[in-house]
Every structure is written in structure tokens, then in C-alpha cells.
Structure 1
Amino acid sequence: MQVHIETDNHVEGRQALIEHVEGVIRDAVDRYEGRVTHVEAHLGDMNSGEKSGADDMRCLLEARVAGLKNIAVKHQAESLHMAIEGAAGKLTNALDSALGKLHDRERRHAGTGELSADAARELDDDAPPVN
């Protein structure tokens, strides 16, 4: 899985920050490593670095998942680390939901309900016409 990190002009892209973000992302998607092919992290300061305030740091994560549309989540917090942790938690929940639904659809598709309907149609086709 590839991890790509982008920052705006107001966030310093130090190596320690990059390593932290990569570690948090890998922990968040660890269960789905075979399905998640790429994660992009966009880090930014919503107040342009000129002033600080509540929830002015933002982390947007976009995961590319095999067989699904991209999944994007964002979290804003007072610090960059809190925004990263919050977005990672949201990404885990979104992956749980999306891949869980996909798994359910795949399971139901080959389930007995659909097979029974197909078998019933075949039986109807073979039955003698009713007068």
C-alpha cells in the first residue's frame, strides 16, 4: 500500500510528521491491507497560519480501495495530531462500513435466496401448462 502525504504552505512537512502520519494510516487500514491500494493524506491549517483557533487544523484522508469508489474522510481539530488521529478513526469506520456492505452483498449473491429463486424459475419452466 502506498501512502502519499501533502501539506499546505502553513504546515511544516518535517520527516517526523510524515513518519507519524504514515504510521497512523497504516494502523488504521491494517485489517484491509489487501484491499486498500493507496492512501493520500492532505494536511492543512484552515486559518492560514496567521492565527490559531478551535478546530483550525485539518486532515483529509482519501483511500483507494479495490472494487469500490474512493473513500474520503476529514477531521478538523485544534492540533494537527488530533486531526490526523480523528481522520484515521473515521477512515477505519468508513472502511468497516463499505467493505462490510460489499462482503454482505457478495455473500448474499451466492446465498440460498437467489439460488432458490433460480431453481423455482427452472421448475416453473419445466412444469406442464395449466389449462
Structure 2
Amino acid sequence: MMIQVHTGQGINGTQDLHDRLIGMLEADLGHFAEHLTRVDIHLHDLNSSKRGGIEKRCQIEAHVARMGAVSVHSDDETVSQAFEGAAEKLKHLLDHKIGEARSHRHQKPVIDLLSTNDFDPNDTVVS
């Protein structure tokens, strides 16, 4: 999984910041690594042109193999808080998306269910 950090105006994109965010994201998303081809972290200062603005945005876009891209964002007072919020949202989203794909993959087709010996056509089906 390739992770890239992009910083906008008003964000000091030091190598230390990049390394720290990449390390935290690798730890958070490590169990999804086989499903992710690329992850982009975008950091923005939403109030960079205004005096006294403190709101930061972190947007994380993850490219999931055979599913396409998903994106989340979080706004907060600091870059770290915005990043933690977005990373948590992404983790929940991937749990849902990848978990859903796994469960669909393991479900038996309806024809297989109908061909089992324990199928009784007189049973009532409730949906």
C-alpha cells in the first residue's frame, strides 16, 4: 500500500509530519493492506487566508482493489485531531465495505440453497 501526504497552504508539511502520519495510518489500516493500492492524505488549513482561523481539514482517500476509491474527511482545531478523526472514519468505512464484500463472497447462491436435502417446499418463508 502506497501512502502519500499532500499539504495545502497554511500547513507546514515537514518530513517529520509526513513520517508520523504515514506511520499512524499504517498501524491503523495494516489489516487492510492487501486490499488497498494507494492512500492519499490531504491536509488543508480552511482559514489560512483569515486571521485567527484555526480550523484544519484532513481528507483521506483510499483506493480499494476491485472497489474503487473511498474518501472521508474530518475538520478540527489541529492537524493531529483532524487526522485522527479522518483515520477513524476511514477505518470504520473500510470495515463496513470490505466486510460486506467478504460476506457476499461467502454466501451460497440461492440455487445451492434450494438443492440441499433439508429444503422443504412446504415451509413458510418470512421476509
In the superposition, the TM-score normalised over structure 2's length comes to 0.84
Amino acid at match of 1:78: E
Q: Does 1:107 align with 2:86?
A: no
SS in 2 for 1:70: strand
Structure 2: which 5+ residue stretches go unaligned? 117-127
- Residue 90 of structure 1 corresponds to 89
Structure 1 vs Structure 2 CA RMSD: 1.7
1:29 Cα deviation after fit: 1.0
Deviating above 6 A after TM superposition, structure 1's stretches of 4 or more consecutive aligned residues are none
* Residues 28 and 52 of structure 1, relative CA distance in 2, 3 Å threshold: farther
Taking the aligned partners of 2:62 and 2:44, their CA distance within structure 1 comes to: 18
Q: Deviations over 1:107-126 (max 9, x none)?
A: 11xx1644134x49xxxxxx
Contact 1:6 1:43 in 2 (8 A): yes
- Residue 129 of structure 1 corresponds to none
1:66 Cα deviation after fit: 0.7
Structure 1: which 5+ residue stretches go unaligned? 121-131
Larger radius of gyration: 1
Amino acid at match of 2:106: R
- Residue 13 of structure 2 corresponds to 13
Q: How does 1:1-131 map to 2 (within 5 A)?
A: 1-48=1-48, 50-53=50-53, 56-108=55-107, 111=108, 113-117=110-114, 119=115
Taking the aligned partners of 2:111 and 2:43, their CA distance within structure 1 comes to: 46
Taking the aligned partners of 1:7 and 1:96, their CA distance within structure 2 comes to: 27
Q: Deviations over 1:85-109 (max 9, x none)?
A: 111111100100000110111011x
* Residues 105 and 50 of structure 1, relative CA distance in 2, 3 Å threshold: same
Which has the larger share of helix? 1
Contact 1:29 1:36 in 2 (8 A): no
Taking the aligned partners of 2:45 and 2:89, their CA distance within structure 1 comes to: 19
In the superposition, the TM-score normalised over structure 1's length comes to 0.81
Amino acid at match of 1:42: H
Identity of aligned residues (%): 28
Taking the aligned partners of 1:61 and 1:99, their CA distance within structure 2 comes to: 17
